[in-house]
């Protein structure tokens, strides 16, 4: 059975978080959508896929991009970390611009290492190379 929670975003807009935690052997499914109607429709479709046997968590992961994951983190987790939010936000935006278009199933350790090497070779606003703590 799906649960839909109304959430107020930092900018004042509303979004709706859908959680499907059925006892059907599949892992829980989550999604955040801008309208209640979209959230309700998504929940109905996901539950129908589970009942018909066409649901595959792997398929969901293939469709979700790293950019979506970063946006979700910025919206839901980052506000809880006010002390380091500014730096973390800057880092997340860099990663989103660099590999955000990739689906989660295509993000590999090789791509992350290559991107990290690229980050280490860029210079800061002061003209110095990034420190190891930034690229780690």
- Residue 40 domain flag: yes
Same domain? For 116 and 93 the reply is: yes
Domains in the chain, number: 2
Q: How confident is the model at residue 86 (pLDDT cuts 50, 70, 90)?
A: confident
Same domain? 79 vs 106: yes
Is residue 61 domain-resident? Answer: no
Model confidence, pTM = 0.54
- List the domain range (segments joined by +) for residue 78: 66-135
**Does residue 60 sit within a domain?**
no
The position carrying tokens 């935690």 is: 21
Let me know if residue 12 belongs to a domain.
yes
Residue 95: which of 122, 126, 56, 57 has the closest Cα? 122
Are residues 31 and 90 located together in one domain of the fold? Answer: no
pLDDT of residue 97: 94
Per-residue pLDDT at 123 exceeds 70: yes
Q: What's the confidence (pLDDT) of residue 83?
A: 83
Buried b (16+ CB within 10 A) or exposed e, 49-69: bbeeeebeeeebeeeebbebb
């Amino acid at each position: 059975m799906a649960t839909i929670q109304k959430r107020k975003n930092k900018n004042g807009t509303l979004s709706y978080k859908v959680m499907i935690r059925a006892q059907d052997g599949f892992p829980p499914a989550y999604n955040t959508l801008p309208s209640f109607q979209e959230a309700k429709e998504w929940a109905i479709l996901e539950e129908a896929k589970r009942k018909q046997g066409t649901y595959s968590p792997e398929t969901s992961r293939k469709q979700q991009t790293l950019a979506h994951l970063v946006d979700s983190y910025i919206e839901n987790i980052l506000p809880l970390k006010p002390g380091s939010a500014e730096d973390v936000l800057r880092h997340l935006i860099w990663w989103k611009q660099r590999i955000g278009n990739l689906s989660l199933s295509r993000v590999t350790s090789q791509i992350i290492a290559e991107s990290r090497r690229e980050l280490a070779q860029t210079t800061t606003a002061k003209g110095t190379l990034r420190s190891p703590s930034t690229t780690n």
